[in-house]
Each structure stands twice: as structure tokens, then as C-alpha cells.
């Protein structure tokens, strides 16, 4: 277990090595989104409650961005600086190694989500109805997007070729994953497409936590769909990671 937690600490350490840049990304991007869509557009549509719809979606995007950036940075630096070879010499199974990276990344992404909560409160004055439920949602989202990032950077031939694949994943999740609008606002068949996006489950769960009434997704459906997405992504990430590192050719 000491090796596992050493790699968790390494994941945290690599993120904190450039903490000023990481903190700037965690603050600047959501601040602009909240200002434009929550503050300005929310005031332009005063009776729509749009700011309470979009704020949880922006927190969801922040968690996603932090997770993908962190896990991508770990694997990319390991590839370019040839430190992946040393990873494989540790007394850990490949699955344990993957879970260590996922755990460290999930902690960073959860912290990013908490920063997003503070920005939502500072700019818009909204607070979660239940802090424990909010934390559970953030941990869930951080884990899901960490697994997705692991898939995105190990499924291509090398991490250097992952950028196009990650960009392909980001576009539908941002614009069809119920971030800038709620599930109730989507017409058919796009509401069915949204159910395939992990961001939908995190955004809609956070809307419930924040007391937004714009979601038409039942909490039980959010829970079942979210758990299914988590299990599916874990299975794919586990297969992709072990496939890539079992016969290490990078």
C-alpha cells in the first residue's frame, strides 16, 4: 500500500509543481463563464432562473477540465521524459498503478470543483442545499473524468496522439452534456444523446443539490445512469491501461 500512496502523492505533487498555473486555470475559466452566462445573461433573463441552471454546469466543466488536464499531464510527461519505465519497476500491479493515478487526479479535480462552488457563491450567491451531497457529486465527477482521461491518453498509440481524441470527446460533452442548459431544455432526439454524456449526470445532480427546478431527470435515473457510466468507464480504462503497459513499447 505504501507504493500505491506514493504514486497518489506523486500525482498530487506533479500538479502542485506548477500550482500557480493550475490555480489560474481553475479560477480564470470558470470566472469568465460565470460572469458571462451566470451574471450577465442571467440578468438579461431575470425570470428564467438561468443563472441557477448554468452555474452547476460550469462547475461540472471545471471538474472535467481539471481531471483531464491532470491525468493527461502525468501520462504525457511520463512519455516525453521516459519516466514510464520506472513506473513499471514498482511493486504494483498495473491496475493498482492506474488507480493511484486516478485517485490523485480525482483529489485535484474535486478541489477544483470546491473552488468552483466558492466562485458560484461569490458571483451569484448560490450555495448547495447539502454540502455532503455536493461533495459526493464532485468526487463522483472527478473519478469519472479521471477514468475518461486515462482512456483518452492510453487508447491512442501514444499520448502525443491523444490531443485530437480528447478534443473529439470534449466537444459533445460540453455542448450536449447539459452544461449550459438543463436536460429539460433539450428536444428529442438530443435528450437521448445527452444521456450518453457523463457531464449530464454530474450537471443534473449538481442542479438538484443547488435546488434548481429545471431538471426533468429523476434522481433515481441520475444515480443509475451515473453508476453505469462509472462502471463502464472503469472497465474500459482498466483494459486500455493494462493493454498499453503490459507490453510496453513506448
Residues 42, 51 contacting (CB under 8 angstroms): yes
User: Tens digits of per-residue pLDDT, 2-36?
Assistant: 778 888 888 888 777 777 777 787 888 889 999 98
Indicate the number of domains in the chain.
1
Write the DSSP assignment of 18-79 as a string of letters: THHHHHHHHHHHHHHHIIIIIIIHHHHSTTTTHHHHHHHHHHHHHHHHHHHHHHHHHHHHHH
C-alpha cell of 243?
493493454
Percent of the chain whose pLDDT exceeds 90? 43
Closest CA to 198 of 230, 241, 234, 163: 230
Sign of the dihedral through C-alpha 163, 73, 24, 27: positive
What Å distances lie between residue 200 and 142, 177, 226, CA to CA?
14, 5, 9
- As a whole number of angstroms, the distance between CA 6 and CA 10 comes to 6
User: Tens digits of per-residue pLDDT, 199-238?
Assistant: 999 999 999 999 886 666 788 888 998 999 999 999 999 9
- As a whole number of angstroms, the distance between CA 135 and CA 161 comes to 34
Count CB-CB contacts under 10 A for residue 81.
8
Residues 30, 61 contacting (CB under 8 angstroms): yes
- As a whole number of angstroms, the distance between CA 133 and CA 65 comes to 21
Q: What is the mean pLDDT of the chain?
A: 87
- As a whole number of angstroms, the distance between CA 66 and CA 71 comes to 9
C-alpha cell of 37?
452566462
What Å distances lie between residue 241 and 55, 153, 235, CA to CA?
34, 9, 10
C-alpha cell of 215?
431538471
Which stretches of the chain drop beneath a pLDDT of 50? none
Percent of the chain whose pLDDT exceeds 70? 96
- For residue 117, give every residue at least 6 positions away whose Cβ sits within 8 Å of its Cβ, in sequence order, or none: 59, 127, 128, 134
Q: Which domain holds residue 6?
A: 2-246
pTM score of the predicted model? 0.91
Closest CA to 106 of 147, 62, 59: 147
Amino acid at each position: 500500500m505504501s507504493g500505491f500512496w506514493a504514486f497518489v502523492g506523486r500525482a498530487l505533487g506533479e500538479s502542485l509543481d506548477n500550482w500557480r498555473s493550475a490555480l489560474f486555470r481553475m479560477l480564470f475559466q470558470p470566472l469568465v463563464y460565470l460572469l458571462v452566462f451566470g451574471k450577465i445573461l442571467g440578468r438579461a433573463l431575470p425570470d428564467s432562473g438561468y443563472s441557477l441552471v448554468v452555474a452547476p454546469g460550469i462547475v461540472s466543466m471545471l471538474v472535467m477540465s481539471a481531471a483531464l488536464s491532470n491525468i493527461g499531464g502525468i501520462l504525457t510527461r511520463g512519455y516525453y521524459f521516459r519516466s514510464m519505465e520506472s513506473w513499471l519497476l514498482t511493486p504494483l500491479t498495473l491496475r493498482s498503478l492506474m488507480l493511484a493515478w486516478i485517485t490523485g487526479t480525482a483529489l485535484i479535480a474535486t478541489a477544483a470543483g470546491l473552488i468552483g462552488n466558492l466562485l458560484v457563491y461569490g458571483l451569484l450567491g448560490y450555495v448547495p442545499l447539502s454540502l455532503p451531497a455536493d461533495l459526493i457529486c464532485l468526487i463522483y465527477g472527478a473519478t469519472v473524468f479521471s477514468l475518461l482521461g486515462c482512456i483518452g491518453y492510453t487508447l491512442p498509440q501514444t499520448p502525443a496522439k491523444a490531443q485530437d481524441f480528447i478534443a473529439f470527446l470534449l466537444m459533445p460533452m460540453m455542448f450536449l452534456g447539459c452544461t449550459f442548459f438543463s436536460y429539460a431544455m433539450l428536444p428529442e432526439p438530443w435528450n437521448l444523446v445527452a444521456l450518453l454524456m457523463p457531464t449530464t449526470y454530474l450537471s443534473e445532480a449538481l442542479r438538484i443539490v443547488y435546488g434548481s427546478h429545471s431538471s426533468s431527470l429523476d434522481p433515481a435515473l441520475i444515480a443509475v445512469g451515473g453508476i453505469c457510466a462509472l462502471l463502464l468507464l472503469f472497465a474500459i480504462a482498466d483494459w486500455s491501461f493494462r493493454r498499453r503497459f503490459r507490453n510496453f513499447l513506448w
